[in-house]
Each structure stands twice: as C-alpha cells, then as structure tokens.
Amino acid sequence: MRPNDRKYTKTHEWVKLSGEEVLIGITDFAVQELCSGNEGDLVYCDLPEAGRSLEAGETFGEIESVKAVADLNAPVAGTVVEANIAIEEHLEILSKDPWNQGWLIRVQPRSRSLDAPELMDAAAYEAMISAEKH
C-alpha cells in the first residue's frame, strides 16, 4: 500500500501537506515505468526556480531516463518555494525513496485543500494503476 498521507494524480505525481506548504514528488510507479528498476537509467531532471507560479496540471519540470523524457505536472496551484536540487545531482534518490527524500518541489499552495476531484487517495491511485497494468 502506498502512503495514505497524501494525494495522487493520474500522471503519477503525489502532493502532501507540510505545514503551510505542500511537497510534490513522483510515485514509485512513475520511477519504475521510466527505468524498470535500473536506477542508473534516470539521467536528467529539470526543476523550476523558486518564485515560479504554477496552475494545477501545469508542467513544472521534466525528467529524462535513457529512453524517454517525461513531464512533471503540478497537482495543485501555487508558488514554488524551493526545488530539491539534490535530486538533479542524485537521481537515484527517486528510486530509493520517492516518498520522503525524493520530494521534487515545495510549494506555497493557493489553497490548502487537497480535495480537488482529480486528486486521488492511495486506494483510488492503486486501483487506477492496477487497471493500467491489465
């Protein structure tokens, strides 16, 4: 079971409340899809500068594995407070710990509610990826 202290998007990002801010990252499923367990296959990650304003669903960054570039999409609207620059140098963190150390950006959200209908809880997210596999 994936952590139920956060919400998930259909494009495999997660968002978690952290004080007055939110943390945003990508799921283990997204990492597995990109690199099939070979953590060295993740090669680049571009994250936004602090201060950038994001709309929900907007692309805030990009990640490249040896065979694909994928967009990173904002689950909620807000302003970027900080990007986890350690990730850009150490992409293996995303394979080892996508839920905690692997956060990508810290955002001051426009609203602290994570109740938007397009955001899924862990059970709904797992049901979605289980359906994708079959």
Does 62 contact another protein by CB under 8 A? yes
Q: How many residues bind another protein (CB under 8 A)?
A: 23
Distance CA 93, CA 20 (A): 25
3-class SS at 33? helix
Does 69 contact another protein by CB under 8 A? yes
Asked if residue 27 lies in contact with residue 61, where contact means CB atoms within 8 angstroms, the answer is no
Residue from the set 44, 96, 97, 121 that interacts with another protein by CB under 8 A: 44
Complex with another protein: residue 19 or 117, whichever CB lies closer: 117
Complex with another protein: residue 20 or 133, whichever CB lies closer: 133
What type of residue is 79? T
Residue from the set 10, 90, 110, 112 that interacts with another protein by CB under 8 A: 10
Distance CA 104, CA 81 (A): 11
What type of residue is 57? G
Helices (H), the chain: 28-35, 85-89, 92-96, 122-133
Does 132 contact another protein by CB under 8 A? yes
Residue from the set 43, 86, 123, 124 that interacts with another protein by CB under 8 A: 43
Binding site for another protein (CB under 8 A): 10-11, 32-36, 43-44, 46, 59, 62, 64-71, 73, 132-133
